[in-house]
A and B are shown apart, each in its own frame.
Chain A
Amino acid sequence: MLSLQAVHKAYGAHEVLRIPSFHFAPGLHWIKGANGSGKTTLFKLMAGILAFEGDVIYQTTSIKKHPVAFRRLISYAPAEPMYPAYLSGHQLIDFVRRVRNAGREQTNALLYAFQAMDYAHQPVEGYSSGMLKKISLVMALAGDTPVLLLDEPFVTLDVAAVQHVYALMTERLRHGATILVSTHQPLQALEGLETKQVALVDKNLCAE
């Protein structure tokens, strides 16, 4: 169970999130909300990128009390990945692979599956948005984290890559993962798996 407790986030005087309490059971959760409703902020604070008031707890591990252990359990793929232009896809993936103790076989298999092997040695400055998206997904899927935060994972991806993301999500879900997906596109039904819809309205989360 992934729980949010008294989560409050504001940028200066502009309040973005105020979530008294919310629980995500293992499974697929589709986070819905209008542009600017705070979906990306929610994902970033759960990933440990943004500071916030309150707490996020996965099972018994709190991001505030056990920041390192919590980050070991969670992976995040940003909606608009931004990496240093001078680094190559291989360097970025190699870095995440080492930090998350993932096998090279796993990341290579992901690169092949996303058809990213041919360009991963080049600096990211020459990538299209779709190519960059694939690298960010490989980085997020490296290792075996039980919680995946995928912010607009299908935007700019080709059809084959989209299907591969669904296949990988299905595989992770069957192993008991908790996956939060934010997308404005209709989410495909996954065979034998339920998709829970969660709306982000008025700075708060509510199950639909």
Chain B
Amino acid sequence: MTSVWLASLARPFYERHAGLLAFVFLVMFGMVESSQVIYYHYSLIIGALQSPIFLVLVVAVWLAYTLKSISFTQQCLLKPTHEFLFVAGALPARQQVIGWAVYHGVIHAPVAVYAAAMVGVAMHHRAWWAGASIVFVQLALAWASVWYYRQLLMAKQPWRLPALRLSLPGRYPLFYVQLLLSELKGAFFRTKIFSWLAIVGFMQIEGAATDMRIPLLGVSVGLLAHTVLIFEFRKAEDTTLAWVRSMPWSVNYRWLLWTLTYALVMIPECMVLALRFSTVSIVPVAMAVSLGFCLLLHASLILPGWSMDRLTKIGFLCFLLLFGTVTAAFYPYFAALAWLLSYAMYTRYFPRVDPSEPLAKT
């Protein structure tokens, strides 16, 4: 039964929250030099062990994660596709508790690993009370989770948490951000991890902290991975968000909104660059280059008869062009040219093409 729980609940949990976990991972481990990561986290843990307020904040984050996982499990159990799991209510209590405890352990693993590291540091520094507190909190969260899951299956009128759901304000660019954080979590997670690895990888080259071209080469490689997201954005623009065409917006304004949307998408890369490069002047440059690339590919999908196949080819061509211009330090020209070309294509073809046409051949 445990393996069924893991396959039908734990796996979807990680798939659905991949984007969020990737972001947290990026914030926790991607913002500092790789050689400094262990020392950085060791310092953080020491700080948490020595400051009760800091420790309470850490516990609050763990509690939020637990509530999120409980809420997700509850939502799954309410779906008709997961009704079969209620058959577990017929199992002996001991088996149920063990099954739910294993499930909790699996979805709580990211927190548990960090908590274990904190306990290890606490023991090493003889901070017995802090270490015991962390163990107690982890056990309490596990007990509460198992109790909650069991009562969902067993109680006649189970107590249910209100649904925890990201609900951004009703603004057009945020619709796409929410798309990334909901339906495209997996693709978003993979894209950002790839992009982060590309930037970090190029930053290992000597002189990377001062020569802007080197991190920009990493950005170029990372941008290639964004092709899938760009395609999904265009698909949404032409299907579930096609009705937005009836809104009283000029084509120039729509263009600006797309610029803003892609700027939001590229924030994580810019944050990594700002922390790793010698000056923050790389941020506007990287943003301009990234926007040029993304908008050019987006606009190319407005053209009639375009499909994912052609986007892949154009994307690779743009990548080669970008990589070459960055190497030759001509990247401002690439950014300017890509912006102008994409603006011309978008403003010319968007009002002239039906929503479904560019995707007809996919």
Contacts and interface: CB of A to CB of B under 8 A. Distances in A.
Interface of A: 11, 47-51, 67-72, 74-76, 78, 81-88, 90-100, 121-123
A107 to B, nearest CB: 11
- Among B175, B241, B243, B352, which residue has the most Cβ atoms of chain A within 10 A? B243
A46 to B, nearest CB: 9
Nearest to A71: B248
Counting from the closest, the 3 A-B pairs by CB-CB distance are A94-B170, A95-B170, A71-B248
Contact of B245 (A11, A48, A70, A88): A48
Interface stretch (B176-184, B275-283, B308-316): B176-184
A71 B246 contact: yes
Contact of A123 (B165, B168, B242, B354): B165
B39 interface: no
A74 B246 CA distance: 8
A125 B61 CA distance: 29
B5 to A, nearest CB: 23
B305 to A, nearest CB: 11
21 contacts: A48-B245, A49-B245, A49-B246, A50-B354, A50-B355, A51-B351, A51-B352, A67-B251, A68-B250, A74-B246, A75-B246, A81-B243, A83-B243, A84-B179, A85-B183, A86-B179, A90-B167, A91-B169, A92-B170, A95-B171, A95-B172
A88 B248 contact: no
B223 to A, nearest CB: 25
Nearest to A75: B246
A94 B169 contact: yes
A70 B351 CA distance: 14
A69 B178 CA distance: 29
B167 A91 contact: yes
Contacts of A122: 163
Majority DSSP secondary structure for residues of A touching B: mixed
Interface in B195-241: 236, 239-241
Contacts of B249: 68, 71, 99
Contacts of A72: 248
Given A49-B242, A50-B354, A78-B243, A86 B182 contact: yes
A137 to B, nearest CB: 13
Nearest to A99: B247
A11 B353 CA distance: 11
B240 A83 contact: yes
B172 A67 contact: no
Contacts of B170: 87, 90-98
A60 B154 CA distance: 67
Contacts of A85: 183, 240
Nearest to B163: A122
A51 B175 contact: no
Contacts of A92: 170
B115 to A, nearest CB: 32
Contacts of A87: 170, 175, 178
Given A95-B170, A98-B170, A123-B165, A84 B246 contact: no
Nearest to A84: B240
Given A11-B354, A78-B243, A83-B243, 16 more contacts: A48-B245, A50-B354, A67-B250, A72-B248, A83-B241, A84-B241, A85-B183, A85-B240, A86-B179, A87-B170, A90-B170, A91-B169, A95-B170, A95-B171, A97-B170, A99-B247
A53 B183 CA distance: 36
Nearest to A78: B243
A51 B170 CA distance: 26
A99 B248 contact: yes
A81 to B, nearest CB: 8
B198 to A, nearest CB: 28
Nearest to B181: A86
Contacts of B240: 82-85
A86 B250 contact: no
A122 B236 CA distance: 20
Contact of B247 (A50, A71, A121): A71
Contacts of A121: 167
